[in-house]
């Protein structure tokens, strides 16, 4: 880990992308795929969960191409194909034939697509506040993907993300705003989801038949008060994935891994402990 900036960790090429990734702990690997908020990175998304899961597992958490401190090659196409290829490429590069896959929001759509296209590479799935099924874009998600950098806009986004005002103070707003204006960050972010944005929700959707065919044990997690991704997404996933269970956190918005970090970590640890891995 970079002492000056904990968001920067290891680097390797994954599917041709120079990728920044975190690699902590030992044991059966868990691949964490972050969400798509402005200025997001793997560390910003998973910093409270990585140390706990690393007590029992090897935790791999990359910055997906277009986000964080992974390179942004000129001409790269930001889509599900690229993000799945990068994820599989990273597992291959690290010599990991299989891992538990945890996806948050946007990352849930990537996790779903990965498990559908490469079922042998996924042991168990965790889908948290997940995209990947059809839904009408919410005003919250439209605001997140349409973010234009300013402190005022970041404060408004944090109010959308989190249930509790205790989490969304000016210090956090300033940190996330500064992250969003790092060189290259906003340029790639604004290029990903231009209006009209319903088409990007649709582009990240996997087919119902493909989802229903998933053989994986799947833990679905959602905040009851999520303003970004509707709880109905997780109810759909629960219906479509045969070997699934749903855990809903009350008094929780879109940031389960931050708003209920300890509970979320215990939930994952227990879910993964059911296997022999």
> Which one is catalytic: 57, 100, 222, 254?
254
Gap between the Cα atoms of 214 and 210, Å rounded? 7
Known catalytic residue at 105: yes
Rounded Cα gap, residues 157 and 99, in angstroms: 32
Catalytic residue among 87, 105, 180, 244: 105
Q: Which residue is catalytic, options 226, 234, 244, 260?
A: 226
206 is a catalytic site residue: no
Closest CA to 31 of 104, 82, 116, 81: 104
Q: Is 84 exposed, middle or buried (0-12, 13-18, 19+ CB in 10 A)?
A: buried
Give yes or no: 260 in active site: no
Which of 209, 191, 212 is CA-nearest to residue 200? 191
CA angle 77, 83, 86 (to 5 degrees): 105
Nearest Cα to Cα of residue 262 among 20, 84, 25, 48? 48
The catalytic site residues sit at: 105, 226, 254
């Amino acid at each position: 880990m970079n002492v000056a900036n904990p968001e920067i960790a290891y680097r390797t090429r994954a599917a041709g992308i120079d990728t920044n990734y975190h690699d902590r702990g030992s044991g059966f690997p868990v691949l964490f795929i972050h969400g798509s908020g402005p200025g997001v990175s793997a560390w910003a998304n998973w910093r409270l969960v990585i140390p706990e899961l690393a007590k029992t597992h090897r935790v791999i958490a990359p910055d997906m191409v277009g986000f964080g401190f992974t390179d942004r090659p000129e001409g790269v196409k930001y889509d599900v194909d690229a993000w799945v290829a990068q994820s599989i490429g990273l597992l291959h590069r690290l010599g990991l034939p299989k891992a538990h896959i945890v996806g948050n929001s946007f990352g849930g759509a990537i996790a779903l697509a990965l498990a559908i296209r490469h079922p042998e590479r996924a042991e168990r799935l965790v889908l948290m506040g997940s995209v990947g099924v059809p839904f009408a874009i919410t005003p919250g998600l439209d605001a997140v993907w349409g973010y234009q950098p300013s402190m005022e806009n970041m404060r408004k986004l944090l109010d959308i993300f989190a249930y509790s005002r205790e989490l969304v103070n000016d210090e956090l707003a300033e940190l996330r705003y500064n992250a969003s204006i790092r060189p290259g960050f906003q340029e790639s972010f604004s290029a990903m989801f231009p209006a009209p944005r319903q088409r990007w929700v649709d582009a990240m959707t996997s087919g119902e038949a493909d989802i229903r065919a998933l053989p994986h044990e799947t833990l679905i997690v959602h905040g009851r008060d999520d303003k970004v991704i509707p709880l109905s997404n997780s109810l759909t996933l629960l219906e479509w994935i045969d070997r699934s269970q749903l855990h809903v956190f009350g008094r929780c918005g879109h940031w389960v891994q931050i708003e209920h970090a300890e509970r979320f970590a215990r939930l994952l640890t227990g879910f993964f402990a059911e296997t022999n891995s």
